[in-house]
Amino acid sequence: QVHLVESGGGVVQPGRSLRLSCAASGFTLSSYTMHWVRQAPGKGLEWVAVISNDGSNKYYADSVKGRFTISRDNSKSTLYLQMNSLRPEDTAVYSCARVTSAGRWSDAFDIWGQGSMVTVSS
């Protein structure tokens, strides 16, 4: 069965860092483009970042550019999101998501993790 499980969330002070992990199982991570999406409490979905299957291409939302870094270790079937210089407005549930088809960049997201809560507060 295909699964994505996030970890690493928690409460952090403004300006500090946090690294999220997304463990993939039931499929070959190295074949798929992967994304991070976040949802602030009571708000809509916000796309955060994308990484190609081999890690060679990455793009970020303007709201996190220069502060967040997406990466992957296909040998460990794990996706990461390094979050630096965190702000209160980064408070959200962060979910990883897989695109529908192997090898595709432009594709919808068919598999989502349950998410990891990040709270930025002093």
Partner 1 sequence: DIQMTQSPSSLSASVGDRVTITCRASQGISNYLAWYQQKSGKVPKLLMSAASTLQSGVPSRFSGSGSGTDFTLTISSLQPEDVATYYCQKYNSAPFTFGPGTNVDIK
Q: Determine, following the binding rule CB under 8 A, whether residue 110 of this chain makes contact with partner 1.
A: yes
Q: Please check whether residue 69 is in contact with residue 81, taking contact to mean a CB–CB distance below 8 angstroms.
A: yes
* Interacting positions 43-72 with partner 1 (CB under 8 A): 44-47, 50, 59, 61-62
12 vs 90, which CB is nearer to partner 1?
A: 90
CA quadruple 70, 75, 56, 29: dihedral sign: negative
Binding characters for partner 1, 23-42, by CB under 8 A (x = yes)? ------------x-x-----
Task: Report the amino acid identity of residue 32.
Answer: Y
Q: What is the distance, to the nearest Å, from the Cα of residue 45 to the centroid of all Cα atoms in its chain?
A: 13
Mode of pairing for the β-strands spanning 116-120 and 10-12 = parallel
Residues lying near partner 1 in the complex (CB under 8 A) are found at 35, 37, 44-47, 50, 59, 61-62, 95, 100, 106-110, 112-115
